[in-house]
Amino acid sequence: MTFEDFERTVRVEFPDITEEQLGRFRDMEGLYREWNSRINVISRKDIDGFYAHHVLHSLAIASYWRRSAIVAPSLPASSSPVNLSPSSVIPSAAKESVSVSPFSVLDVGTGGGFPGIPLAVMYPQMRFTLCDSVGKKTLVAGEVASALGLKNVTIVNARAESLPDKYDFVVSRAVTTLENFYPWVKDKFLGSIFYLKGGDVNAEISQLMRRFRLKKGSVRTWRIDNWLTEEYFQEKFVIQIEKDYLCGPIAENI
């Protein structure tokens, strides 16, 4: 997929995307190619699939947010703080603080910056903390974020369990099974986890719900091929794990 193909795709899904945001997405490929030649954070066999396999895959979370009315679809730097939907994914106790500050998002196991960096470009009013335990990966993520001029990104070389803060959302891209992942972050978020995962996820979700006694309806899936129809995205999902409440009409209940 060329940048032109990518641009056509995101303009349709995010019609209010700005030229500044598109410019950052355009610059992103060259930065990753340069860094990847030094530190391998993307498979060298897969670098030619950069926009489809890495950027669009990351933005599937943004597409799900837009379609579920969780947050506004795209936020220029001069816009107001993130809109809360009527069926907000933030618990009532947290709404007061969110109304005067942007959402905070923790990207766990970010590697070279996915899905965090594409989401940070799309949502400049949200605050992103990108966390990974491998120092050379966070080095790349930090250098790319800096080169793109992303002021809303903080890079942390640490394990998620060691972080002292709580975040509105957690995002991640298939770093391990859901059953392994959930204990790392279960005390780190106020709203929801949004997890990119492929394959037959039903058994994995069932194990997660049984082990941690999650209530029925607290885990939802959304097929990415609802938006991106290429074969690569078949059997790939955004999995939403809610804190302790239900919201959003669009996802399939598990």
Nearest in space to 47 (alpha carbons), one of 59, 62, 61, 29:
29
What is the average pLDDT value for the chain, to the nearest integer? 85
Measured on CA atoms in the order 193, 194, 198, 202, is the torsion positive or negative?
positive
Q: Could you tell me the pTM of the whole model? A: 0.85
If one counts every other C-beta atom within 10 angstroms of the C-beta of residue 193, the result is 23
Say if residues 70 and 182 touch (Cβ distance below 8 Å): no
Of 185, 173, 184, the residue nearest 118 (C-alpha): 173
Q: Per-domain residue ranges for the chain? A: 3-73+82-253
**Distance between CA atoms of 191 and 172, rounded to whole angstroms?**
15
Q: Copy the structure tokens of residue 44.
A: 């060298």
d(CA 82, CA 98): 9
Mean pLDDT of 130-153: 96
Residues 3-73+82-253, CATH architecture: 3-Layer(aba) Sandwich (3.40)
pLDDT in tens, 2-21: 999 999 999 999 999 999 99
d(CA 180, CA 153): 26
- Give yes or no for residue 144 having a pLDDT over 70: yes
How many Å separate Cα 196 from the centre of its chain? 8
Q: Mean pLDDT throughout 175-196?
A: 94
Among 178, 199, 198, 227, CA closest to 64:
227
In this structure, are residues 128 and 90 in contact, taking their beta carbons and an 8 Å threshold? no
pLDDT digits (tens, 9 = 90+) for 36-77: 999 988 887 888 899 999 999 999 999 999 998 776 544 444
Residues 188, 243 contacting (CB under 8 angstroms): no
What value does the mean pLDDT take over residues 91-120? 74
78 vs 148 pLDDT, higher one: 148
Alpha carbons within 13 A on the beta-carbon side of 189: 29
DSSP character string of the chain: --HHHHHHHHHHH-TT--HHHHHHHHHHHHHHHHHHTTS--S-TTTGGGIIIIIIIHHHHHHHHHHHHTSS-S---TTSPSPPPPTT-SS-HHHHHHHHTS--EEEEET-TTTTTHHHHHHH-TTSEEEEEES-HHHHHHHHHHHHHTT-TTEEEEES-GGG----EEEEEEESSS-HHHHHHHHTTTEEEEEEEEEES--HHHHHHHHHHHTPPTTSEEEEEGGGT--SGGGTTEEEEEEESSS---SSSEE-
